[in-house]
Amino acid sequence: MRTYLEKLIQGNNLSIEEMKAAALACFKESITESEIAALLTALQVKGETAEEVTGLVEVILSQSAFNTDSIVNAMDNCGTGGDMSGSFNISTTSAFVIAGAGVPVAKHGNRSVSSKTGSADVLEYLGVSLFFTRSQVEESLVQNQIAFLFAPHVHNALKPFTKVRKDLGLPTIFNVIGPLTNPIMLNSQFIGVYRKDKLHIVAQALRNLGRKRALVVNGAGGMDEASLAGKNHLILLEDGELKPFTLHPEEVGLPVYSIKEIQGGDAKKNATITKNVLQGNPSAYLDTVILNAGLGLYAHGTASSIKHGIELAKESIHSGKALECLTNLVHFSKKYDSEVV
């Protein structure tokens, strides 16, 4: 570990293999919490690279009992969090719209970190289990087009890092890698990042991790979601190439709303917002989900363009299929309520 720490302190980057070796060392009993804290701090001060992100993610995935090959061409639309916008659960709500359009969504998420209510908080309130087994996750993806993977449950080997991160109370590389650590082997992904300067790092890491197609967005106003407040900055990963572009909501026929108009609240309030959106009730919330779900469908490749994705998202909602996906996931949770661990 000392070799890697000295290299980072001197401002030098670690290769993917060096990062993997450093990360694997953190799981050894001989490594102290101080050494783990030093590694995370040194990476943060230097600034993490795509290779360092890739190496850490590969090690985390290797430690998860849920790590599995893609069985249904699933995608995820989890964001990094950290934008401090106070918005409702945009990606969680959008996941049901994407699933309603026929794309399996392995939704990776956690409890609240920077927002008032995290994806796990609102889904738990709605009646979705946070503790599906691996086989239940796979079954739900096939039957319901959607499954939820609660990060602490599917990554319970990360306890050495969890305590250190809590004690540090500072941003670390983990604030970037969360969406990349979905243990389902994904072919495609839609990720929101809270900082514009992280766009290329995350996009390059997605390419390193073997995603065939992906879309990374930093929303107007610094959101980790696509925003209706103005210009969004995106990078499309397609055929191994990274293609940056910008998108204003008016370019795809959507209105402009301020971030204040999509504020969320506690789990009860956000659950109500989610159900209202899936029922198709007109609002800034609905249009925000339509944009993000449309981008998710474009990221997956189901939609041939962003406008096409938006049309598919609207159809998913207005046909009732998006709401049906939520209803089915709740029923699935109740079915296995006595079996979950």
Residue 230 main-chain phi, psi, to 5 deg: 160, -145
- pLDDT the model gives residue 113: 59
In sequence order, the 6+-apart residues with CB closer than 8 A to the CB of 30 are none
Residue 69 is labelled as binding a ligand? no
Strands (E), the chain: 75-76, 105-109, 146-150, 188-192, 213-218, 232-238, 241-247
> How far apart (Å, rounded) are the C-alpha atoms in residues 277 and 230?
21
- pLDDT the model gives residue 341: 42
Residue 287 is labelled as binding a ligand? no
Residue 86 is labelled as binding a ligand? no
Residue 197 is labelled as binding a ligand? no
Q: Specify whether the CB–CB gap between 118 and 87 falls below 8 A.
A: no
- Tell me whether strands 75-76 and 188-192 are parallel, antiparallel or unpaired: parallel
**CA 298 to chain CA centroid, nearest Å:** 16
Residue 90 is labelled as binding a ligand? yes
- pLDDT the model gives residue 115: 57
Q: Which two tokens stand for residue 134?
A: 């691996």
Residue 222 is labelled as binding a ligand? no
Q: Specify whether the CB–CB gap between 202 and 237 falls below 8 A.
A: no
Residue 266 is labelled as binding a ligand? no
Residue 269 is labelled as binding a ligand? no
- pLDDT the model gives residue 162: 84
Residue 316 is labelled as binding a ligand? no
Residue 108 is labelled as binding a ligand? yes
Residue 211 is labelled as binding a ligand? no
pLDDT block averages, 10 residues each, the chain of length 341: 96 98 94 95 96 97 85 88 88 98 96 76 96 93 95 89 86 89 94 95 97 97 96 97 98 97 95 98 98 98 98 98 98 78 42
Residue 188 is labelled as binding a ligand? no
Residue 119 is labelled as binding a ligand? yes
- pLDDT the model gives residue 56: 97
Class for the domain spanning 75-330: alpha beta
Residue 79 is labelled as binding a ligand? yes
- pLDDT the model gives residue 128: 97
- Model pTM? 0.94
> How far apart (Å, rounded) are the C-alpha atoms in residues 32 and 30?
6
Assigned CATH for 1-63: 1.20.970.10
Residue 304 is labelled as binding a ligand? no
Residue 224 is labelled as binding a ligand? yes
- The domain segmentation of the chain, as residue ranges, is 1-63, 75-330
Residue 70 is labelled as binding a ligand? no
Residue 129 is labelled as binding a ligand? no
Residue 281 is labelled as binding a ligand? no
- pLDDT the model gives residue 340: 44
Residue 34 is labelled as binding a ligand? no
